[in-house]
Amino acid sequence: MKRFNTPINSELLTQICQGELKGKIPSVLCKVGEPEEADEQTIIFLEQEKLLEKVKASSAGLIITTEKFISELPERALLLVQKPYYSLMRLISWWLEQENKDFIYAIQPTAIVAEDVRFEGEVAIGSNVVIGSGCILGKGVIIGEGCSLGKNVSVGAGTKLYPNVCVYDDCVIGRNCILHSGVIIGADGFGFMLIEGIQQKIPQVGNVVIGDGVEIGANSCIDRATLGSTIIGNGTKIDNLVQVGHNCIIGEHSILCAQVGLAGSTVVGDYVYLAGQVGIADHLQIGNRAMVGAQSGVSTNIPDDGRYFGYPALEANLTKRIMAVQKNLPEMYHFYLKAKKQETENGEK
C-alpha cells in the first residue's frame, strides 16, 4: 500500500478520473493499495468480475469501478468511470506530481562532472556520478547515484536515470525518458570476423539514439551500431533484461517484454508487441502492429498486423493447428507402426 502526503477531495477526484461519485466518501483519502490491505483512507479499483468478492470484503474508503458493479456494492462509496484501472493510474500520477513539486535539483559534491558539460536548466546529479566531456543535459534531468555518462552524451529534458545506469560515448537520449537501474546504452555490438582462425573484433563506432518518452527496464542492454545508429522510437517501452543488438531499429510505441532478444540489424515497426523471451534472428523485418507470442523463435520476416508464435514462429492459426495435432502424435505413431507391421506380414505371405 502506498500513502501520499496530500489527501484528495471529491472535486479533484472527479476532475482527474473523469468520473461520477456515488455515495459518501471519507473525509481523508490518501492511499492506494490492494483490496486485502485497504482501510478507510484507501482507494482501490474493480474492473474484473473475479475480484468482486475481495472488493466486497475490503475496508476501502472508495472503489473506482464501472456502472456494471453498482448493484453488487450497495452503500459503498464509488467513483464510476469507463476504465477503472486507467483512472486509478491517472490519479496516482497526479499524486506523484504533487510530491515531486518540491524536488530539489542539486549536484552532489562527490559527482565528477567535466568542465564543458552544458546544462539547459536545473538538473539533479547524484553521488558518485561521472559525466564526460561534451555532454548536454536538458532541463529537469535527474541522474541517479553511480551513473556514468561517456563523452558527448545528450540527455533530453525531463529524463530520469535511476542509479547505476551506464551510457557510452556519443549516445542520444530523448526527452521524458526513464532508464532503470543497470541499463547499458551504447555498449559495443557483438561483431567479430574469423580471420586465419582468430575471431577479429569489428570496431563499433556508431551510437544509440533513443526517442522521447521511452522507458527501459532494469539490466537491459541497447548496443551501439557498427557505423550508423541503433534507434529506439518515441514512446516505445522495453522491459527488464532485454537485449537489442547493433544496428537494430525499433519503431514508435512498441512493447518488448522481459528477456526479448533482437539480433543485429533487426527492424521492428510501430505498435509491435513482442512477448517474453521472444528471440528474433538478424536482418529481419517485423511489420507494424505485429504480435509475437511468448518464447517464440522468429527466423523469417513478419508482415504488418501479423500474429505469430511458436518455435519456429509461424502464423498463429497454423501454430494452433500444429499444436492440436502434436498431442495425438504418440497414438498416431502407434497406429503407424501397427499398419507397417501388417503391411510387412502381408507382403511376406
Round to whole Å and give the CA distance between 63 and 49: 14
Give 63 or 332, the one with higher predicted confidence: 63
Check: CB of residue 144 under 8 Å from CB of residue 181: yes
What is the DSSP code (8-state) at residue 14? H
Asked if residue 195 has pLDDT above 90, the reply is yes
Residue 264 carries which DSSP code?
Answer: T
Task: Please compute the mean of the pLDDT values over residues 303-322 and round it to a whole number.
Answer: 94
Integer Cα distance of 176 and 211 in angstroms: 9
CA distance 285 to 268: 6
| pLDDT band at residue 347 using 50, 70 and 90 as cut-offs | low
- Contacts for 329-333 with beta carbons within 8 Å, 24 or more apart? none
| Structure confidence at residue 177 (pLDDT) | 98
At the second CATH level, the architecture of 2-100 is: 3-Layer(aba) Sandwich (3.40)
Distance separating the N- and C-terminal Cα atoms of the chain: 80
Binning pLDDT at 50, 70 and 90, where does residue 41 land?
very high
The model carries a pTM of 0.89
With a CB cutoff of 8 Å and minimum separation 6, the contacts of 134 are: 114, 116, 117, 151, 152, 153
CB 21 within 8 Å of CB 35 = no
For residues 61-77, give the mean pLDDT: 95
In the block, cell 518488448 appears at 256
Which tens digits make up the pLDDT trace of 207-240? 999 999 999 999 999 999 999 999 999 999 999 9
- Checking DSSP bridges between strand 154-155 and strand 273-274, what pairing results, if any? unpaired
**Residue 180 falls in the annotated catalytic set:** no
**What letter would DSSP give residue 11?**
H
Stretch(es) of the chain classified as CATH 3.40.1390.10: 2-100
Q: Where does the pLDDT of residue 328 fall: very low under 50, low under 70, confident under 90, or very high at 90 and above?
A: confident
| Mean pLDDT on 6-34 | 93
**Residue 286: all three cell numbers together:** 517485423
Q: Residues of the chain with pLDDT > 90: what percent?
A: 88
Q: How many CB atoms lie within 10 A of CB 284?
A: 17
Given the residues 246, 253, 283, 334, the one annotated as active site: 246
Give CATH 2.160.10.10 domain extents, the chain. Answer: 165-312
DSSP letters for 102-171: TPPP-B-TT-EE-TT-EESS--EE-TT-EE-TT-EE-TT-EE-TT-EE-TT-EE-TT-EE-TT-EE-TT-
Q: What angle do CA 151, 214, 6 make, to 5 degrees?
A: 110
Q: What does the pLDDT look like over 110-150, one tens digit per residue?
A: 999 999 999 999 999 999 999 999 999 999 999 999 999 99
The whole-angstrom separation of Cα 265 and Cα 244 is 9
User: Among residues of the chain, what percentage have pLDDT more than 70?
Assistant: 99
Whether pLDDT at 333 is above 70: yes
Q: What is the mean pLDDT of residues 26-37?
A: 95
Task: State the Cα–Cα distance between residues 61 and 91, nearest whole angstrom.
Answer: 15
Q: Pick the range with the lowest mean pLDDT from 65-69, 102-106, 341-345.
A: 341-345
Architecture of domain 165-312 in CATH?
Answer: 3 Solenoid (2.160)
- Rg of the Cα trace of the chain? 27
pLDDT of 349 higher than 60: no
